Structure 1
Amino acid sequence: SQDVRRAAAAALPKVAETGDEKAISVAQALLKHQNAGVRLTALEALVSVARKGSEEASVEAVAACLEDDADEVRAAAVQALGKMAPKGSKKAIAAAATRLRCKFS
């Protein structure tokens, strides 16, 4: 159920070490869940378990959340990019800029 998945996502930062590949993989997979609450919790978990300057896959997964249907997930994705992407990340900057153009053009 979505409650179980959300609880599992919330537990990841409490049980996994920073950089734990399995926890990162689980959080990334939950970013595609149909329920916005699960996606939001997974996004928060990913920020907690991924390292700043994380591998590209995590940054790409977060950048994809900028296109989420749920406002709260998109807002959390913007904040997550700021926490996870390496400073000066062209990919993160491009993703955020694209999102801004979509909303304000």
Structure 2
Amino acid sequence: MAGTVTSVGMVAAAAALTLALAASTSTAVAGQRASGAADGAALAAADAASGAATGVPCERAADVASATDAAMIDCEVDGLVATVTVSARVGPITASARARAGPPPS
């Protein structure tokens, strides 16, 4: 009987650890997706601001963000520099990220 109780306890501990690792992995995936979407959206906005691509910078950023299943939260264009904030959802977890693109500061 004592062996059964120990075995059940070990299985329960392993299951709890697996769930905790799955949750932390989902958080990391959501963060990486948001970061990639923000990078792409900021680059698209900066290209439009510089004339390298056609369109309105923040509209281009929103298009790129939505293509990566992310939502654009904020977009600011100052000259040739674009700063974009997006959020991405993976399962129950939502992550946001901010990216800047443009020429390097002088």
For the criterion TM > 0.5, the same-fold answer is no
Structure showing greater radius of gyration is 2
| Greater fraction of residues in helix | 1
Q: Normalising by structure 1, what TM-score?
A: 0.27
| Greater fraction of residues in strand | 2
Ranked by relative contact order (alpha carbons within 8 Å, sequence separation 6 or more), the top structure is: 2
